[in-house]
């Protein structure tokens, strides 16, 4: 049959594949469920759910447990529903966190449980080839040491300390990671690992981790701010990462804070990073004390209650609070989660940060936002990188050939 120009014929929808995806999505969202609950959540008929569940059990994607007969709660008449859940080892995701001075790689199961993790100190900014080769080596080690077959890995998620263009995955690294300008991280990692790759910046990865596994669970409107060598924010609005037109939303480290301040590595003057990053604090102490102070010394100085270091950290907290007040006014989040290297300062950082937000924000908006440290520590970004892949696990599992599922 000839199709007239300009006329397209829709591919028929495979209703069974759609149903399979709905069941997997429901089980991914709720680790333990039952057939009656799946009927309610998916809108599929009881017979369809039973048939799909049987198929998923047969290929090793779903497991079924007998009900607890020792349950003291009284039950209605009839046989109690059997518990269904995804098999955690039916698929895996790899996370890679590429910072300015480190590389961290992990391997997670379907529920985000970390099964393997390794951290390496590395001067990254001017060594993209060496860094990506290192990531590939660590991926190989993760698979070898855990015995996970490469065919069972759903993909690699990578978070990097650079703006990442949405769609192309190109790094907007001018002045930030000089050796990486114009590099397409997605293509480079795929070439080295032969695995599907998803890429975002490290703050977005941290936000996703805290949303999925940490302090932001069940919170649909939150901001994750990463205070490390670079400063950035991952913004969650209505349960979704807010990326902006080109994927560059949340670069608060380059908000101008001081009109005649220091020139930032981005080329502008007086950015938040020039006054509130650990590097900036160490530089200030070096100038004040007349001896070199490294950023890595800050945790010990804070622990020792060094008055100069505490004052510098508190001033940084106030500066970050002023910058975040703009996001609170514009976005009205319920929660701000503070992560990154500087988060270890705890209340010495948070108290002036909260005060800065209150001082510069509409009072009703300031009263409605809670500000806490992250629940995942320095592992947030790498877990969120793996979470990039795991968020799409139902779709990836639904298209996995039966022979690869078990």
pLDDT at 406: 46
pLDDT (tens digit per residue) in 330-376:
999 999 999 999 999 999 999 999 999 999 998 888 888 999 999 99
> Could you give the CA distance from residue 93 to residue 396 in angstroms, rounded to a whole number?
11
Question: Among candidates 208, 135, 202, which has minimal Cα distance to 163?
Answer: 202
- Give the pLDDT of residue 71: 52
Q: Is the pLDDT of residue 211 over 80?
A: yes
Residue 17: predicted pLDDT: 85
Positive/negative CA dihedral, 205, 208, 212, 215 = positive
Q: What is the per-residue pLDDT across 34-53, written as a single tens digit (0 to 9) for each?
A: 999 999 999 999 999 999 99
Q: How far apart are CA 186 and CA 171, in angstroms?
A: 10
Residue 15 has pLDDT above 80, yes or no: no
What is the average per-residue pLDDT within 285-289?
96
pTM of structure: 0.88
Coil, strand, or helix at residue 14? coil
Residue 1 has pLDDT above 90, yes or no: no
Q: Could you please report the per-residue DSSP string of 135-202? A: HHHHHHHHHHHHT--GGGEEEEEEEESS-B-TTT-BB--TTTSGGGTT-BHHHHHHHHH-S-EEEEEH
Question: How much is the pLDDT for 73?
Answer: 52
Using DSSP, state whether 231 is helix, strand or coil. strand
Would you state the pLDDT for residue 32? 87
- For 120, the token pair is 């390496």
- CA separation (Å) from 42 to 49, 65, 234, 273, 400? 9, 21, 31, 47, 21
Are the CB atoms for 227 and 342 separated by under 8 Å?
Answer: yes
Coil vs helix vs strand at 269: strand
Give yes or no for residue 4 having a pLDDT over 80: no
Range with the lowest mean pLDDT among 12-26, 155-169, 235-249? Answer: 12-26
Q: What is the pLDDT of residues 256-277, one digit of tens each?
A: 999 889 999 888 999 999 999 9
What pLDDT does 79 receive?
56
Q: How does the average pLDDT of the chain come out, rounded?
A: 89
Smallest CA-to-CA distance from 249 within 214, 200, 212, 210 is with 200
Cβ atoms within 10 Å, residue 266: 18
Q: How far apart are CA 191 and CA 139, in angstroms?
A: 13
Terminal CA-CA length for the chain: 42
With bands split at pLDDT 50, 70 and 90, how would you rate the model's confidence at 5? very low
User: How much is the pLDDT for 210?
Assistant: 96
Burial degree of 401 (CB within 10 A; 0-12, 13-18, 19+): exposed
Give the mean pLDDT of 181-189.
91
Query: Which residues are bridge partners to 104 per DSSP?
Result: 97, 119
Does residue 396 contact residue 154 with C-beta atoms inside 8 Å? yes
Q: Provide the pLDDT confidence category of residue 70 given band limits of 50, 70 and 90.
A: low
**Crossing angle for the helix pair 185-193 and 128-146, to the nearest 10 degrees:** 40
* Gap between the Cα atoms of 366 and 98, Å rounded: 33
pLDDT tier, 141 (very low <50, low <70, confident <90, very high otherwise): very high
Residue 318 above 80 pLDDT?
Answer: yes
């Amino acid at each position: 049959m000839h199709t007239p120009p300009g006329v397209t014929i829709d591919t028929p929808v495979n209703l069974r594949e759609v149903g399979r995806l709905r069941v997997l999505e429901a089980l991914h969202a709720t680790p333990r469920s039952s057939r009656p609950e799946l009927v309610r959540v998916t809108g599929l008929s009881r017979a369809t759910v039973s048939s799909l569940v049987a198929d998923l059990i047969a290929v090793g994607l779903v497991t079924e447990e007998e009900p607890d007969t020792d349950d003291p709660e009284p039950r209605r008449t009839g046989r109690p529903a059997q518990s269904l859940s995804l098999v955690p080892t039916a698929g895996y995701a790899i996370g890679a966190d590429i910072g300015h001075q480190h590389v961290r790689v992990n391997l997670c199961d379907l529920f985000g449980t970390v099964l393997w993790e390794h951290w390496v100190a590395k001067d990254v900014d001017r060594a993209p080839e060496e860094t990506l080769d290192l990531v590939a080596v660590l991926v190989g080690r993760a698979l070898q040491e855990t015995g996970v077959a490469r065919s069972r890995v759903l993909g690699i998620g990578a978070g990097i300390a650079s703006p990442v263009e949405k769609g192309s995955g190109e790094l907007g690294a001018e002045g930030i990671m000089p050796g990486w300008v114009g590099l397409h991280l997605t293509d480079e990692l795929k070439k080295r690992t032969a695995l599907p790759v998803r890429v975002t910046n490290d703050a977005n990865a941290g936000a996703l981790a805290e949303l999925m596994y940490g302090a932001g669970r069940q919170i649909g409107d939150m901001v994750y701010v990463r205070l490390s060598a670079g400063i950035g924010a991952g913004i969650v609005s209505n349960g979704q990462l807010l990326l902006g037109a080109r994927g560059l939303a949340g670069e608060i480290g380059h908000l101008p804070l001081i009109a005649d301040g220091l020139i930032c590595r981005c080329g502008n003057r007086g950015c938040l990073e020039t006054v509130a990053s650990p590097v900036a604090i160490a530089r200030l102490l070096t100038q004040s004390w007349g001896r070199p102070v490294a950023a890595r010394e800050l945790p010990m100085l804070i622990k020792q209650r060094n008055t100069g270091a505490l004052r510098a950290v508190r001033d940084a907290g106030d500066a970050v609070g002023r910058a975040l007040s703009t996001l609170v006014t514009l976005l009205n989040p319920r929660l701000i989660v503070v992560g990154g290297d500087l988060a270890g300062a705890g209340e010495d950082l948070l108290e002036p940060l909260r005060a800065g937000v209150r001082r510069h924000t509409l009072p009703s908006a300031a009263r409605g936002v809670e500000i806490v440290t992250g629940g995942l520590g320095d592992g947030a970004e790498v877990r969120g990188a793996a979470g990039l892949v795991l968020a799409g696990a139902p779709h990836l599992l639904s298209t996995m050939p039966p022979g690869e599922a078990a």
